[in-house]
Every structure is written in C-alpha cells, then in structure tokens.
Amino acid sequence: MLTDDGKHLYVSWDEYHMLIERLALKVHASGWVFDQILCLARGGMRPGDVLSRVFDKPLAIMATSSYRAEAGTIQGRLDMAKYITLPKGELAGRILLVDDLADSGVTLRAVVDRLRAMPAIRELRSAVIWTKGVSSYTPDYSVETLPTSPWIHQPFEEYDNLRPEGLARKFAI
C-alpha cells in the first residue's frame, strides 16, 4: 500500500509473495533459459530462493551491503563479498542475478560489472521486484516501477529490531 504522500510503500507478506511469483512469470514469459541464479544477500535471498525452487536451478549467494546508518535507511559505502557461495562448481553459463529492488542502482551496476568480467559467465540478466524511478540501473526483469521512489517497508523488517528477548515476550516464555 502506497501512502498518500508517495514516500512510503508498505508491503504485506501476501503481497510480497505474489510479487515474487509475478517476477518468476515475467522471467518465464521471456523464454530465456538460464543455468544458475545468483541472489544478492540479504534482500535478494527470499526472491532468489523462490525462483530457484520454481525454475529448479541452483542458487548461489553473494553478500553485499550498503545500507547501515539510521537503522538501515541511509546508503553508505558498498561492500561486496570477495567470494560467491554456491553448492558446487563455479558460477558459469547463463546467470540470472536476483535482488529485491533497484534502488539507486549502484549495487546492481557494481555487481553486474564484476560478473561481466568473469570469463565463465556467457550471459547475464537481472531480475528485481521493484525498480525505483531514481535508479541508475534498469534490470532486465522487474515487476513494479516506482516513479516516486518511496521507501519500501518489506514484511520481514519486523525482525530488524526484534531480539531473542522480544520473541520470548511474544510467546510468554
């Protein structure tokens, strides 16, 4: 649900899962066949997991981080993991890069540039749920374009400030 001022988008679990499924359908409708999925942790892990299951393709993970300050609302320096984690072999062939959103576009552009420099990757396409109007990078697949570039409140953010003690209180343990 987009707020009246266009600055915040609140997404429920049901909406979130439906958007991931719509992303899978967009990729499928394109007819493009890929060999592996690389998701960007943390935001791309849930969409990457679902797409990996739907397409029955191996899932690789690359950790990236740029949101740290102000409870994760201020973008800082981009950090990319040196290594990519995958079940076997190397990242190679046709790769679908998955993240939750193209925000500023900085992270996706940096990762795409790094991956395109890897000789074993023959083709690379990217897929996200949301593309913000301010993004400098346009993914190959996206479910929603957000011209006002709102802050997206994703359903799993409830865990950002929840600690074990809070869970214990929730269950009266």
pLDDT tens digits for range 9-38: 999 999 999 999 999 999 999 999 999 999
Q: What does the DSSP 8-state code read for residue 163?
A: -
Domain boundaries, the chain: 12-145
Q: What does the DSSP 8-state code read for residue 150?
A: P
- CA atoms of 63 and 141, how far apart (whole Å): 21
> Does the pLDDT at position 69 exceed 50?
no
CATH topology of domain 12-145: Rossmann fold (3.40.50)
> Does the pLDDT at position 170 exceed 70?
yes
pLDDT value at position 75? 53
Burial call 31-51: b when 16+ CB within 10 Å, e when fewer: eeebebbbbbeebbbbbbbbb
Higher pLDDT, 88 or 70: 88
Structure tokens at 30: 């394109």
% of the chain surpassing 70 pLDDT? 90
Q: Quote the mean pLDDT of the chain.
A: 90
**Within 10 Å of residue 71's Cβ, how many Cβ atoms?**
10
Question: What is the pLDDT confidence band of residue 4, given thresholds at 50, 70 and 90?
Answer: low
Structure tokens at 133: 């109007």
Higher pLDDT, 151 or 80: 151
Q: Which residues pair with 21 in a beta bridge?
A: none
125's CB contacts (< 8 A; 6+ apart) are 32, 34, 94, 95, 96, 97, 140, 141
- CA atoms of 137 and 69, how far apart (whole Å): 23
% of the chain surpassing 90 pLDDT? 77
**Contact present, 101 and 132 (Cβ < 8 Å):** yes
Residue 28 CA from chain centroid, whole number: 18
Q: 């576009």: which residue's tokens? A: 105
pLDDT value at position 82? 72
